[in-house]
Homo-oligomer: A and B are copies of this chain.
Amino acid sequence: MSVPPRADWKVRGRRSELRRLPWLEVFRETVELPGGRLVDDFYTVEMQDFVVTAAFTVSGDVVVERLYRHGSRRVTWSLPAGYVHEGEEPLGSAMRELREETGYEADRWTAAGRFIVDGNRGCGWCHCFVAHGARRVGEPVSDDLADVEVSEMPWDRLLELLAAGEVTELASAAAIGLACVRLGDSG
């Protein structure tokens, strides 16, 4: 039977099981379900919030990166992304990461939503942005571990790479999709 959600779960206990800041912290929670049932081994993971941006140039191309990502254990096409630093607003993080990673700045920024990375465990929030009027203003200054190759690409070419499995990260896929939703709005 289809059952309306009655209320939020209540957290009755919470114990840190692994703390490796700033990267992650794992908690074992005791949660009380709406009917009163207790579940004493619900694991949640705190991870850093991050941003991802679909940035379009004036000619309508999109700023993309090619880099190795250890999560997927391979080189992938990605959109510019990075962690939200302490004290930053996500929009500020997105602007900083675009500049640092790619050497680009953009004129107009739109928030395309924030989403929890894992619906059960958390794993941080992903803040998605769409930017327009992007242009190269200097050299990238990123100190990321991975080498990053930056280029501009026609939007349809990125959609082809997405369909071909050459975009391997969920956040990039989401941001590409959300940009399509917005493009559909304005079209």
Contact = CB atoms under 8 A, between A and B. Distances in A.
Q: Is the interface of A mostly helix, strand, loop or mixed?
A: mixed
Contacts of A87: none
B121 A47 contact: yes
Interface of A: 1-9, 17-18, 20, 23-24, 26, 28, 31, 33-34, 39, 41-45, 47, 66-76, 78, 81, 102-103, 113-123, 126, 128, 139-140, 145-151, 159, 162-163, 165, 167-181, 184
A28 B70 CA distance: 13
For the complex of A and B, list the 7 residue pairs with the smallest distance between their C-beta atoms, beginning with the closest: A177-B177, A174-B174, A3-B147, A115-B170, A72-B116, A119-B169, A2-B150
B171 A119 contact: yes
A159 B181 contact: yes
B5 A68 contact: yes
A139 B178 CA distance: 32
A132 B10 CA distance: 37
B74 A170 contact: no
Given A117-B118, A123-B117, A71 B44 contact: yes
Given A45-B123, A117-B123, 17 more contacts: A2-B103, A4-B66, A4-B149, A7-B68, A18-B26, A20-B26, A33-B146, A71-B116, A71-B117, A71-B120, A81-B119, A115-B168, A116-B168, A118-B123, A119-B168, A119-B169, A177-B178
